[in-house]
Chain A
Amino acid sequence: MNALRIPAALTSLEDVAHFCQSLAERAGLSTDAAYRLRLATDELATNVVMHGYRGGEGELRLAGGMDEDTVWIRLEDDAPPFDPGAGCRPPQPDVPLAQRGIGGLGIHLALTSLDDFSHRYTDGHNSCTLVIRRHRPRRRPE
């Protein structure tokens, strides 16, 4: 298992990217799966920085690991309770781009990039678990 504690700031996003890339490499993830893991972690971390702590000071804690089937990252913060999975609205492709609301896009991208996601809030901490499958499910023979 691997862990990282960083200040909740946009300048930390590069560390988040390196953390994801190194974990993906160790797990032997495909380029596509590695990209999705990084995108999801980046978006959720960005959301904590911009909205969770509302631009104020705070800390982000990342832990990562893998088992036979999955690679996971746990993202923790001490911001007010927020479940990214609750009330996430899909984009509105029929609304012209100039009239779109732009909230929630990052969370939508994050959640659709992952194979599994969960959130819990305990003892003053948000804890999100992001999961990517290491291998695409194989097709059963006909």
Chain B
Amino acid sequence: MALSVTVTTSTDTATINLIGELDAASAPAFHDTIEQAAAAGVTHVVIQAHELTYMASAGLRSLVFARQKMGDEVRITVAGPSAPVARTIRQAGFDRSVTLVDE
């Protein structure tokens, strides 16, 4: 299943909506939206992950890329990840650098 990525930007927040599966083949599309969010100069990036059914390490690399691109003053939130997606983020220790909002 493919990945659908959309991004909406307000004054200070970029919201990236991920639907489907994030693997090495689909991660470049996610990368592009991170570039857009970084270029927009927002202070908060919200990654809506409610409908993200799968995430491989390529998705983690995208989070590292987001952090490197935007610096520590930008807050990055992953909202509503499924249990296995949240587990993957925690397993890599990334929950210390991005805010996980489980539901």
* Chain A interface residues toward B at CB < 8 A: 10-11, 13-14, 17, 32, 35-36, 38-39, 42-43, 46, 49-50, 91-94, 96-98, 100, 102, 105-106, 108-109, 112
> Which of B4-12, B35-43, B94-102 participates in binding chain A?
B94-102
Q: Which of B55-78 contact A (CB under 8 A)?
A: 56-58, 60-61, 63-64, 67-68, 71-72
Would you call the interface of chain A mostly helix, strand, loop, or mixed?
A: helix
Interface centre among A32, A39, A42, A97, by most B CB within 10 Å?
A: A97
Contact residues in A for B1 (Cβ distance below 8 Å)? 14
One digit per residue, 1 when the CB lies within 8 angstroms of any chain A CB and 0 when it does not, for chain B 1-24 equals: 100000000000000000001011
Nearest chain B CB to A45's CB is how many angstroms away?
9
Contact residues in B for A102 (Cβ distance below 8 Å)? 60-61, 64
Instruction: Tell me the bound Cα distance from A141 to B25 in angstroms.
Output: 47
Q: How many A-B residue pairs have CB under 8 A?
A: 78
Is the beta-carbon distance between B93 and A50 smaller than 8 angstroms?
Answer: no
Contact residues in A for B68 (Cβ distance below 8 Å)? 97-98
Contact residues in A for B58 (Cβ distance below 8 Å)? 46, 106
Interface magnitude class on chain B = 20 to 34
Question: Contacts A50-B24, A97-B97, A102-B64: A112 and B91 contacting too (C-beta < 8 A)?
Answer: yes
For residue A105, which residue of chain B has the nearest CB?
Answer: B57
Is the beta-carbon distance between B25 and A109 smaller than 8 angstroms?
Answer: no
Q: Which 5 A-B pairs have the closest CB atoms?
A: A93-B93, A97-B97, A106-B57, A10-B25, A97-B67
Contact residues in B for A91 (Cβ distance below 8 Å)? 91-93
Contact residues in B for A93 (Cβ distance below 8 Å)? 92-93, 96
Nearest chain B CB to A106's CB is how many angstroms away?
4
Question: Contacts A43-B56, A46-B23, A106-B57: A98 and B67 contacting too (C-beta < 8 A)?
Answer: yes
For residue A109, which residue of chain B has the nearest CB?
Answer: B57
Nearest chain B CB to A110's CB is how many angstroms away?
8
